[in-house]
Structure 1
């Protein structure tokens, strides 16, 4: 299974949003209709704000995105794939912060406001630099944060386990963004128990990070759920060999031993 649009993310040949649209197309044949509708909405939005500039324009786009278009955080504590795949987020107007951030970033770009995704703990933020100052948009509900607020939030999220540094707030590279997005999607599809789709997402992640033992372990789990035990064995064995000290490796060793033990049939 190959995904050519994911194989060169380290070189950032394609825009991130184009890759994420392609991911949606993989799962939904009607994806393009939602994408087309969204671009019409943000074109109209951009035209309404042609006389504005800088921070004022960003604030106007945020207002339109969350209040006029009605985008909001997903209501469920554990979300399904419809809250992550961008075409369905457009349709339902609800999604995880990573998906909202990508859509808001594209809306801002159409209005001429350039933002960057920051790999913030918990979920990404959008960064906007203006007149030698950085502002950060919380994609959960559009709150605009400044320096001290960002530092306080970082310390709350990390519980002071990590020392704060502004170096952490540089723009995330495409590989980091896509790994984060696809990991959320993988977990959602496993939660939905749509294991064939989850397997596709794992292969997407492996296109970005080939031979990643953790993705191969997760592929083993999905294959096990799909009743492909021998393929799961191969993946679990690879993980145990590559990560022998990982806490999950001991459980997998026991599972592999159980599967390898001769089965006694009672007559």
Structure 2
């Protein structure tokens, strides 16, 4: 670890934070599309492929666009004959999960390949959110209004239907979930009080594309941190803040990665930004002390 920290810190000092981010963005597709783009204009599937390009820089993204088009063409006749949106969705699920064989990866849930959409397509394995992105993209090309749900603990999808919404679990082959099961799943994440109907409905609100992408990147960051692959974790943290630079807590989390990698300049910049965005946060005093310590360390490094 010390050798890796020294190597990383030297490289970062040669660049600076802004230059590092410019370098990581200068790939085949421009990450700056997120800057002034309204959420509804962010292309979810293309953005998921953009995340995959970081790990696979030679990835042919158009190939996966074409695959989706081919799948759409294969299932379109059945969807067009469907007598209701629910029947159409059932036809789509049979195609994706029975014919194509997509399923949740129970054997190795924390394999990072479960989060890269190209690997999900190739291996037919994923986690809830990556399977949801696949399912939502094919549905979108068929004109179906399938939406993501950032449900606590386990990402879901929903289909607006007459009188309400139909909620499904893409990790369980698109199985529909009733109110009792949804309440049971959510209860451990909302405290000891009983989960009311209105609270449950709020949990079932559709997730924005930014929220979906940041959740995907958080998943990847956690996987890489667990594997002690800190540079890949940092890459995910950086992309996360490119997608949504308003997320105060993410500056604090990236600062911790910088700290582990020995990059004091990055620690100071991100902790300062965190305190600027969240001055009244519960941990502001602790973070302020971390900032003072990092500034002191940066000064000592310059003196040495």
TM-score normalised according to structure 2 size: 0.72
Corresponding residue of 2:251: 216
Aligned positions of 1:254-265 closer than 5 A: 256=293, 260=297
Report the equivalent of 1:132: 163
Q: Cα offset for 1:87?
A: 0.9
- Once the 2 structures are TM-superposed, how far is the Cα of residue 160 of structure 1 from its aligned partner? 4.5
Alpha carbons of structure 1 residues 195 and 40: separation in structure 2 relative to 1, 3 Å: farther
Supply the RMSD in Å over aligned alpha carbons: 3.4
Q: Which moved more, 1:142-151 or 1:84-93?
A: 142-151
Which blocks of at least 5 consecutive residues in structure 2 are unaligned? Answer: 1-20, 26-30
Q: Which of residues 74, 81, 99 in structure 1 aligns to 2:105?
A: 74
Q: Which runs of 5+ in 1 are unaligned?
A: none
Question: Aligned partners of 2:137 and 2:113: how far apart in 1?
Answer: 19
The answer (yes or no) to whether the contact 2:97–2:103 under 8 Å persists in 1 is yes
Query: 2:275–2:288: 8 Å Cα contact kept in structure 1?
Result: no
Higher helix share: 2
1:50 aligns with 2:80: yes
**1:29-178 aligned within 5 A:** 29-32=58-61, 33-53=63-83, 54-76=85-107, 79-141=110-172, 142-155=174-187, 157-158=189-190, 160-161=192-193, 163-165=196-198, 166-178=201-213
What secondary structure, in the 3-state scheme, does the structure 1 residue paired with 2:258 have?
helix
Give the distance between the partners of 1:252 and 1:104, measured in 2 at CA.
Answer: 46
Q: Distance in 1 between matches of 2:246 and 2:188?
A: 34
Do the aligned partners of residues 212 and 15 (structure 1) sit closer, same or farther apart at CA in structure 2, a change above 3 Å counting?
A: closer
| Cα contact 2:237–2:250 (8 A) shared by 1 | yes
Q: 1:192 to 1:80 in 2, by over 3 A?
A: farther
Match of 2:52 among 12, 20, 24: 24
Distance in 1 between residues matched to 2:236 and 2:291, nearest whole Å? 27
1:167-193 Cα distance to aligned partner (Å, 9 max, x none): 432222223222222211222233344
Matched position secondary structure for 1:170: coil
Question: What TM-score comes out, normalization by structure 1 length?
Answer: 0.80
Shift of 1:138: 0.9
1:191 to 183, 208, 226: 226
In the alignment, which of 187, 190, 200 is matched to residue 235 of structure 2?
200
Aligned residue pairs, count: 263
Change (3 A) 1:164 1:49: closer
How far is 1:112 from its partner?
A: 3.2
Tell me the SS of whatever aligns to 1:121.
coil
